[in-house]
Structure 1
């Protein structure tokens, strides 16, 4: 049986054909055979098939002889946190994040919440699951324990805020009917207990696996006005929305403007460097100038990494970096097992706004004007390699710098671009930025898209 649900960094597949309970059980057996764990943490998102897939995966681990701790409905980062906090040997989150409703998947980690990707075990797990060449069933199966670990997780989150400087703030929170709602309720209770003057306006808050308001994916342009409209309606200071498993969060300023993840990376880098001068910050190569300048201005060291969570986490561990950020709204934290979190970023922004006694719009509008970017633009192409070569041949002669850390980056005096191929489909992803020239940004973006789509 060929298992096509295995991807580069995780497992994602169409229900019934690519992923079902039998396949989930095989994956659990193979995961345990590969890791040889004594204790494994599992969690699951709101999708209607997530509990049964979780049960099947867990049974595979139990049959190996390892114990399983079931955290219940939670976010991916709660599995990451639980794996480290509970000293487990591995963890698995059943989620398909922002994929269509007929999909599901898994994100797996080893001890200390270290990612398991294709090059670090996922290919081995796939082979064992396909061929059923995993260990024999244990004479004594493992024990399953239900555990609510949210209090410890929320207590950790509270450590990112200086409560004595918090100013009154009204925040629209849009869980998108995903897994974020219960965790937000716990965070709200903890904030109130500490006397934080924070008011939440909750929309699409209740977890609902039928996704009555669409799959939670705030990058979709049709979903962005929902949070923005609520910010305006309630006169909020900030808007926050999450994807289905809330490992990414997205922000709106007080005027309901959606803020691209690129500019949030710079904000969070500054937030850490104010408290930890000289710290190392890891960033991805798609959009770079704003992050590099902020890190340098605040006395930090900016370190570039290939994009993708496995690479960012590996680079952060190697460099002992305090924070890593991607323009895709993935943010990674040393004190959070080097893992990505969708809750820590907005808490840090609230803390930063309070300490600076300013607004999100004030903090980002100058940076957006200094380094304008249209955001990432995808193009479907017949031949990705040919399109990449066509662009390179057209622009290489005028470039003053070339970088192939991740795709193709060419830099010019007043603008730069990065072009990357998708790992899974015939798509090219384009990112452009300029030095304070929006007209130039528009011109170069259109020129590049015309060449790519030729």
Structure 2
């Protein structure tokens, strides 16, 4: 069961993951959750239709009523699981992985993530070969998209007038975006959308949709400048993440998008809690403080962010990796809600996205995530702590090691899946301190 990761299932086709594995996991999911009905959706990858069919067959074999959304986004699966009162949901997707990968994202009732214990049980149960149960069937549930559109449109409020380039990356986003644009227009939104790589195509003729990689951004940056738009948006394969570009083509760092969304959320919900991860946080904390909100730290990962949001009643949670969670969207992540909220913020403040972004870049420069391959992550982190912690104002272990030196800070954390250490450095208004901090940490880590 090598495709089992910490939060989902993902592997290389024909090596870690195939129709047989998907079928067995689906049967196990039915037994572990006891769900009588399960929502099923898939992304645009060429392998996804057959894998979704295998998942559906596995669920039917255990007497489950399968509510099939067809081609859809992960957030549509989340929404439909709660909206239709299903006992669980499965999305067949490998998100931003290379084209020869695929996998499954799984949730329980109300789109709540499976617990660690359930995930262990699922992995164990997938090795069994259960008897077939009667009563299973597949039902077309694609009409649920209309309810999803109405819900999202109701959350984002007035939008526009604004001209936006949207790069779907030939993933699953295109059809949903069209339906959402139509729904928003019906309630008075003034959106002028310039569509790029819009049609789903699992061969990914323009490259795998993963805008987090710097080498994948220039095409969108150039298209934004050529189209003369106010904002650019690029989605990953299952569009549970979106990435923003200002009107000059400048890419917005993840923590700056979190800060803008925190500002937008607190304008609607004064004094509310905002949850965020600790990798890069000063831009977010300063924005939340100015808006009268309350910052709450949570470890990186959707399970932790969602749990913290529910515990603290937070209206919004954000990660610098472009996962954005909303209380009124089941505390789930969405790739459609963020860019619409930022568009609304631009309209309310009268500032362009370039203006909003330039202030954040100036006041809160950061390094971006720097990865180091190390043989012993724990030993390296101990060396960094022993050297630098005595000079720090504070030390925090919410997620890896965070050290605050007053005018700059660092976060160093080990990857859950690879022999990597991930470093982030930020400063207050001084990019030189960021560069110096990265150089100093590089010497410590590599030395």
TM-score tier (shorter): over 0.9
Query: Hey, what's the Cα distance between the residues in 2 that align with 1:9 and 1:261?
Result: 21
User: Which position in structure 1 is the counterpart of 2:109?
Assistant: 111
Secondary structure (helix, strand or coil) at the match of 1:218 reads coil
Matched, 1:10 2:5: no
Q: Which of 403, 418, 421 is the equivalent residue of 2:414?
A: 421
Matched, 1:244 2:237: yes
User: Which position in structure 2 is the counterpart of 1:431?
Assistant: 424
Q: Which of 42, 49, 52 is the equivalent residue of 1:51?
A: 49
Query: Hey, what's the Cα distance between the residues in 2 that align with 1:437 and 1:189?
Result: 44
Residues 325, 334 of structure 2: 8 Å contact kept: yes
- Report which stretch shifted further, 237-246 or 195-204: 195-204
Query: Hey, what's the Cα distance between the residues in 1 that align with 2:53 and 2:86?
Result: 18
Query: Hey, what's the Cα distance between the residues in 2 that align with 1:270 and 1:196?
Result: 21
Residues 85, 109 of structure 2: 8 Å contact kept: yes
User: Which position in structure 2 is the counterpart of 1:32?
Assistant: 30
User: Which position in structure 2 is the counterpart of 1:88?
Assistant: 86
Q: Deviations over 1:261-301 (max 9, x none)?
A: 10111111111111111111101011111111111211111
Secondary structure (helix, strand or coil) at the match of 2:165 reads strand
TM-score, normalised with respect to structure 2: 0.98
Instruction: Please report how far the alpha carbon of residue 251 of structure 1 lies from its aligned counterpart in structure 2 after TM superposition.
Output: 0.3
- Give the number of aligned pairs: 446
Instruction: Please report how far the alpha carbon of residue 258 of structure 1 lies from its aligned counterpart in structure 2 after TM superposition.
Output: 0.2
Query: Hey, what's the Cα distance between the residues in 2 that align with 1:284 and 1:30?
Result: 32
Instruction: Please report how far the alpha carbon of residue 159 of structure 1 lies from its aligned counterpart in structure 2 after TM superposition.
Output: 1.2
Matched, 1:184 2:182: no
Q: Deviations over 1:95-153 (max 9, x none)?
A: 00011111100000000000125x14111101111243x5x321x23121012121111
Query: Hey, what's the Cα distance between the residues in 1 that align with 2:358 and 2:397?
Result: 30
Query: Hey, what's the Cα distance between the residues in 1 that align with 2:206 and 2:440?
Result: 36
Matched, 1:328 2:321: yes
Q: Which of 201, 206, 218 is the equivalent residue of 2:194?
A: 201
- Report which stretch shifted further, 258-267 or 48-57: 48-57
Structure 1: stretches of 5+ with no match in the other structure: none
Residues 179, 245 of structure 1: 8 Å contact kept: yes
Query: Hey, what's the Cα distance between the residues in 1 that align with 2:297 and 2:336?
Result: 24
Residues 156, 337 of structure 2: 8 Å contact kept: no
Query: Hey, what's the Cα distance between the residues in 1 that align with 2:303 and 2:268?
Result: 26
Q: Which of 209, 222, 243 is the equivalent residue of 2:215?
A: 222
Residues 155, 328 of structure 2: 8 Å contact kept: no
User: Which position in structure 2 is the counterpart of 1:143?
Assistant: 137
Instruction: Please report how far the alpha carbon of residue 316 of structure 1 lies from its aligned counterpart in structure 2 after TM superposition.
Output: 0.7
Secondary structure (helix, strand or coil) at the match of 1:419 reads strand
Residues 98, 243 of structure 1: 8 Å contact kept: yes
User: Which position in structure 1 is the counterpart of 2:157?
Assistant: 162
Query: Hey, what's the Cα distance between the residues in 2 that align with 1:221 and 1:327?
Result: 15
Instruction: Please report how far the alpha carbon of residue 447 of structure 1 lies from its aligned counterpart in structure 2 after TM superposition.
Output: 1.6
Structure 2: stretches of 5+ with no match in the other structure: none
Query: Hey, what's the Cα distance between the residues in 2 that align with 1:324 and 1:417?
Result: 21
- Report which stretch shifted further, 58-67 or 412-421: 58-67
Matched, 1:213 2:206: yes
Query: Hey, what's the Cα distance between the residues in 1 that align with 2:235 and 2:118?
Result: 29
Matched, 1:69 2:63: no
Query: Hey, what's the Cα distance between the residues in 2 that align with 1:413 and 1:194?
Result: 47
Secondary structure (helix, strand or coil) at the match of 2:127 reads helix
User: Which position in structure 1 is the counterpart of 2:118?
Assistant: 121
User: Which position in structure 2 is the counterpart of 1:451?
Assistant: 444
User: Which position in structure 2 is the counterpart of 1:342?
Assistant: 335
User: Which position in structure 1 is the counterpart of 2:261?
Assistant: 268
Query: Hey, what's the Cα distance between the residues in 2 that align with 1:378 and 1:70?
Result: 39
Instruction: Please report how far the alpha carbon of residue 246 of structure 1 lies from its aligned counterpart in structure 2 after TM superposition.
Output: 0.5
Q: Deviations over 1:179-211 (max 9, x none)?
A: 111111112222332332211111111111111
Residues 317, 325 of structure 2: 8 Å contact kept: yes
Residues 160, 347 of structure 1: 8 Å contact kept: no
Instruction: Please report how far the alpha carbon of residue 324 of structure 1 lies from its aligned counterpart in structure 2 after TM superposition.
Output: 0.3
Instruction: Please report how far the alpha carbon of residue 370 of structure 1 lies from its aligned counterpart in structure 2 after TM superposition.
Output: 1.2
TM-score, normalised with respect to structure 1: 0.96
Aligned-residue CA RMSD in angstroms?
1.2
Residues 42, 91 of structure 1: 8 Å contact kept: yes
1:269-418 aligned at under 5 Å gives the runs: 269-418=262-411
